[in-house]
Structure 1
Amino acid sequence: MIDIFAWPLGKLLKFVYDMTVAVGLDLNSLSAYAIAIIITTIIFKLLLLPLTFKQMKSMKTMQEIQPKVQELQKKYKNDPQTLNQKTMELYKEHKANPLGGCFPLLIQFPIIIAFFRVMQMPIKYVFENNEAIYEGLNRGFLWIKDIGLAPSTMIDGVMNGVSLGGYNIPILAILAAITTYLSSKMMTAAQPAGQNDQAKSTQATMNIVMPIFILWIGAKYPAGLTLYWTISNLFQIVQQYFTNRSIGKIKEELN
């Protein structure tokens, strides 16, 4: 199933790469391939933006009316039929859908996994199994000599990324971890104040565990994957900033 999404995404990356080469943006320290990954990631996020915004708005609406739902649950705790009726009326009044946050996510998830697969297997999905073309193109990105390889890979006796005292310093992986943390914190800040202690504890744990996991992935896997993840996070941070600003408008509509 992933191939259904991976192939067109690979074609998109190849198209952007060809256009980047055509306009002469293929520098030693900033290859056309790296630029193509950045541009394709932005295009990819823009295509998903309507679904993402719909999901976030739906989740936020459900969160904001949760106190009213809890009031109904207390008031009609001995009358399930009336509770169900009143809850549905509340949802209808505020145009809320309990499943509204799930459907867009279910649609996005296989596409996100497919894009990750494209970044992991560019020879198959981008260059149609033509290994010679892939091996022959410039894949440099600033301090990284080859974004198709992990930062710790040795190339002609020199580490692919930055080294200090013979140790690999995965700068891009560190940036990916930092942007993951910032993105998570911004999403947490948008959560309602009425969360229980368990939910807060779980969220706080994820805010720490996820960046560490991304740091580990970024140090072990090809740098192109980490570049994609970092750009995606930066886009998410900007998107979350404007989403958080719109939360006030949603609250006004609910009052």
Structure 2
Amino acid sequence: MDTILKPIVDLLQFILQFYYDNAFPNYGIGIILLTITVRVVLLPLTITQTKSMIEMQKVQPKLKALQEKYKKDKERLQKEMLAFYQEHKINPLAGCFPLLLQMPVFFALFLVLQNFEPLKEASFLWISSLGKPDPYYILVVLMMATTFLTSYMTITDPKQAQIAYIMPIVLGFISIQLQAGILLYWVVTNLWSIGQQYVMARFYPTPTPQKGS
């Protein structure tokens, strides 16, 4: 995996070092700028994914009606759903494809923050070493809070609300021993996602589902 991701790791590491050398001689600020850079580059994929999800939400009632109508005939159901997707010009995998393209970048970014030697001696605000866990757990708390907000903003089904409360707690325990640099990236990513979801909701509001026939 490391070999496959090496070109991306090298590029991200170069960008991080570039920000340190030419913008702000602080790796904490460099991580923030690198995170924003990555999210800006991936923004077109995010928009594509959002549009695809909206289209799927519009037709969910009709899809459920089809599934109910042909629930005892799986072969007929597959044919009807394929025809339905073609009629509405929907690719059910379109929402997954942008996410799959983003995953190598996020894995590579994790490897950079985990293994980049200068981070072990780099300080940022109250943190003496970005290569070690946050001694005061402030970033852990910020990560939990921003993860909750990110999850809560995406909930469309009230039954899923419990996930928004449980997930941050679980991630909090898992992340206690993570390097502060990784947690800083995580917090900035969550803050970006919160702002992004707010803006997306303005430009691409949640549609009123079409009634099933």
Q: Give the TM-score taking structure 1 as reference length.
A: 0.70
Following superposition, the deviation at residue 57 of structure 1 comes to 2.3
Note the alpha carbon deviations across 1:65-116, whole angstroms, 9 max, x for none: 1101122334455666664444334323432212222222222223322211
Question: What SS does the corresponding residue of 1:99 show, helix, strand or coil?
Answer: coil
Which residue of 122, 134, 139 maps to 1:139? Answer: 122
In the superposition, relative to structure 1, how do residues 42 and 175 fare at CA in structure 2: closer, same or farther (>3 Å)? Answer: same
- The one-letter amino acid paired with 1:22 is N
In the superposition, relative to structure 1, how do residues 184 and 78 fare at CA in structure 2: closer, same or farther (>3 Å)? Answer: closer
- Aligned sequence identity (%): 38
The structure showing larger relative contact order (alpha-carbon pairs under 8 Å, at least 6 residues apart) is 2
Assess if the C-alpha contact under 8 Å between 2:122 and 2:131 holds in 1.
Answer: yes
2:146 counterpart of 1:179: yes
Assess if the C-alpha contact under 8 Å between 1:6 and 1:117 holds in 2.
Answer: no
Q: 1:4 matched to which residue of 2?
A: 4
In the superposition, relative to structure 1, how do residues 252 and 93 fare at CA in structure 2: closer, same or farther (>3 Å)? Answer: farther
Following superposition, the deviation at residue 48 of structure 1 comes to 1.9
2:131 counterpart of 1:148: yes
**Inter-partner Cα distance in structure 1 for 2:91 and 2:121:** 48
In the superposition, relative to structure 1, how do residues 49 and 253 fare at CA in structure 2: closer, same or farther (>3 Å)? Answer: farther
Q: Give the TM-score taking structure 2 as reference length.
A: 0.82
Could you say what the CA RMSD is over the residues aligned between the two structures, in angstroms? Answer: 2.8
Q: Which runs of 5+ in 2 are unaligned?
A: none
Which residue of 79, 82, 87 maps to 1:88? Answer: 82
- The one-letter amino acid paired with 1:48 is L
After superposition, where does 1:1-255 map in structure 2 within 5 Å? Answer: 1-23=1-23, 25-26=24-25, 32-76=26-70, 83-123=77-117, 134=118, 139-152=122-135, 169-188=136-155, 191=156, 195=157, 200-201=158-159, 203-248=160-205, 251=207
Q: Which runs of 5+ in 1 are unaligned?
A: 27-31, 124-133, 153-168
Assess if the C-alpha contact under 8 Å between 1:2 and 1:113 holds in 2.
Answer: no
* Structure ranking higher in helix proportion: 2
Note the alpha carbon deviations across 1:144-189, whole angstroms, 9 max, x for none: 122121123xxxxxxxxxxxxxxxx31111111111110011111x
Structure with greater Cα Rg: 1
**Inter-partner Cα distance in structure 2 for 1:73 and 1:150:** 49
Aligned residues: 211
Note the alpha carbon deviations across 1:5-40, whole angstroms, 9 max, x for none: 2443343333342343334x23xxxxx211111111
Question: What SS does the corresponding residue of 1:65 show, helix, strand or coil?
Answer: helix
